[in-house]
């Protein structure tokens, strides 16, 4: 069990503290999750088919996560304005945060090792690896899903969240 600075955290590691931007221009600190379990899903891009399905699936289960005492938050590199439009267009009922550090340093995705090189149609670019972390009330990672397949994923996270 270690503190995460850069790398690929795993079960038992402490989830890092970071400040993220909110759609309304404010800030959210992962430190505010202390003492509360949370499901934190990272997704590549607002308003794309897979990301829309994933966000809608978590929204559909939001009340069940709340009943289990587990917060849900979605994070991408999209700017806050994009998140605000995405939330409105898709009628999302979960908070989305922007992993774009104001000081232009590494964000949470880099710290977690999920901002990776991708290859699409022979072109390489950096992008978000769809990953979900279930964090216990103690701030430690209870479960990690990497390279997530969207179908049924939110249900699987809810099942694990209920077991915390």
**What string of H, E and C letters represents the secondary structure of 38-71?**
EEEEECCCCCCHHHHHHHHHHHHCHHHHHHCCCE
Q: pLDDT value at position 5?
A: 46
pTM (global) more than 0.85: yes
What 8-state DSSP symbol labels residue 36? Answer: S
Q: pLDDT value at position 93?
A: 96
Q: pLDDT value at position 102?
A: 57
What 8-state DSSP symbol labels residue 134? Answer: E
Q: pLDDT value at position 2?
A: 40
Angle between helix 49-60 and 153-162 (nearest 10): 40
Per-residue pLDDT of the chain (164 residues; tens, 9 = 90+): 344 445 688 999 999 999 999 999 899 999 999 999 999 999 999 999 999 999 999 999 999 999 999 999 999 999 999 999 999 999 999 999 999 865 556 899 999 999 998 887 888 988 899 999 999 999 999 999 999 999 999 999 999 999 99
Q: pLDDT value at position 8?
A: 84
Look up the CATH number of domain 19-162: 3.40.30.10
Q: pLDDT value at position 4?
A: 44
Coil, helix or strand at residue 132? strand
Domain spans of the chain, in order of start: 19-162
**Residue 140 β-bridge partners:** 14
The backbone region for 4, taken as left when phi is positive above 0, alpha when psi lies in -120 to 50, beta otherwise, is beta
In the block, tokens 């950096």 appear at 126
Which residues have CB under 8 Å from 158's CB, separation 6+? 39, 61, 64, 65, 68
What are the catalytic residues?
Answer: 51
Angstrom distance (rounded) from CA 2 to CA 65: 27
List the Cα angle 58/34/79 in 5-degree steps. Answer: 50
Angstrom distance (rounded) from CA 63 to CA 40: 16
């Amino acid at each position: 069990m270690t503190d995460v600075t850069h790398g690929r955290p795993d079960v038992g590691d402490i989830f890092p503290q970071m400040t993220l931007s909110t759609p309304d221009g404010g800030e959210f600190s992962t430190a505010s999750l202390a003492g509360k379990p949370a499901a934190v899903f990272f997704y590549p891009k607002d308003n794309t088919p897979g990301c829309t399905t994933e966000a809608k699936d978590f929204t559909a289960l939001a009340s069940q996560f709340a009943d289990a005492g587990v917060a849900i938050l979605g994070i991408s590199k999209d700017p806050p304005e994009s998140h605000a439009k995405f939330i409105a267009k898709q009628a999302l009922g979960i908070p989305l945060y922007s992993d774009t550090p104001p000081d232009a340093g590494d964000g949470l995705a880099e710290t977690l090792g999920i901002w990776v090189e991708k290859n699409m149609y022979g072109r390489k670019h950096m992008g978000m690896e769809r990953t979900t972390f279930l964090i216990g009330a103690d701030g430690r990672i209870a479960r990690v899903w990497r390279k997530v397949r969207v179908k049924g994923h939110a249900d699987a996270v809810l099942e694990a969240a209920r077991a915390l």
